[in-house]
Structure 1
Amino acid sequence: MTQNRDGAGTRAGDAYDAIRQAIRTGHFGPGERLRFSSLQALCGMSVTPVREALTRLTAEGFTVLDDHRGYSVARLSLAELRDITATRQLCEGEALRLAVMKGDADWEARVVAAHHLLARIPQGREGMPSVMREDWEARHGAFHAALISACGSPTLLEICGKLSLQADRYRRMSVSVSGAARDVLGEHRELLERALARDTDGAVEALREHYGRTAAMLANFFEP
């Protein structure tokens, strides 16, 4: 029985990963209705793990459930963007403050290594600069996770991780916004330098500005 439950949980987890990735990359667009037949074909699974995955995605804000229409991809909005950004600035700012205060040599090494890997590749795809590279996105997440990894609070880290997931679709959209040129590499370098210099206030302010710039650019998309 335990093995059966574990297998079902693994299938539901795989379905969750597949559907979330399809939403993140725009395969399913904001507001699009999600049909079980399409999702089963995407995941190669029966309806049960797909339904479990949708329940989890709905709890995390990626999808919504309408009693009459079923599941659909959550729409993007300026109000949600501002709410997520402000909450990230608050929670991740505090996590960074604690990490800069508590971080040891191992933390410094993690941050330096993560930044080195991030800085070695461009954000946009070759020939398609308005489309985010998947490996850049993974390294970007790893760098921000490394920055706050020494905060000492597993609960705070979990909250920051969930907020990062919620911000993901907006972050991807920011790459394609016309006129959105900015020195992202320089912003990350400033975060690195201030953190390693143990400039607590400066690091937190740099993080707030980093997230704020993304939100400000996207505000032009929602309110041209």
Structure 2
Amino acid sequence: MKRAIPVLVLSVAGLIPVWRYAPSDGSTTTAEAASPASTPSASAAAGGSSQVVRGTTVETEKGPVQVEVTFDGDEITAVKLLRQPDHPQTEAAVPQLVAETLEAQTADIDTVSGATITSDGYRKSLQAAIDAAAESASAAPPSSSAAPSASAAASQVVAGSAVDTEKGTVQVEVTFEGGTIASVRMLRQPDHPQTEAAVPQLVAETLEAQSADIDTVSGATITSEGYVESLQAAIDAKG
């Protein structure tokens, strides 16, 4: 019988600094091992020219801000908010910040009126991602255009099945690096505080166990079971 792990421990700030979690568009959340700006990962589909980089998590008065930037060569093609303050002004400001980034192709963009704090955090996280991508590009050895690099070929993203529960639909997306589960992202989850509190713990246990054989989180049993089922489906699909 699996043990139940209280959600309460997640409410103690600072006790789990190594996990990052927050909504990006209201229905999608991401959680994974924390680092400064993440090392860019090349896309095998793009022959190694496309990469996704996560900026640093910037703590602000309104809440943490973190971006994920997609580069196609040197060009910024997409920016996604992994973490942002839960505030109407922030939600209204994000599309404008992203649009300005895609136009400017730098972090030198204007502050959005009414969302100054979020704008500052966004620029810092964005600049960290840009710096990480540039550093990776300068350090990477020339690659043959005939085939993707070994790291690109070894990276694989698999979506698990969508599991309908009493609380709502649960679906995960798993990134594998070779045979290792590198990160887990929530594509769909119940809109409930207990679920939001449970997800980082479920992801943390997954990364540690490297399997779907993880504990149910107390207070979020239904979500935990849906998570495990979707996770196992992703692992099975990878083969």
Fold match by TM threshold 0.5: no
Give the shorter-chain TM-score range.
Answer: under 0.3
> Normalising by structure 1, what TM-score?
0.27
Greater share of helix = 1
Greater share of strand = 2
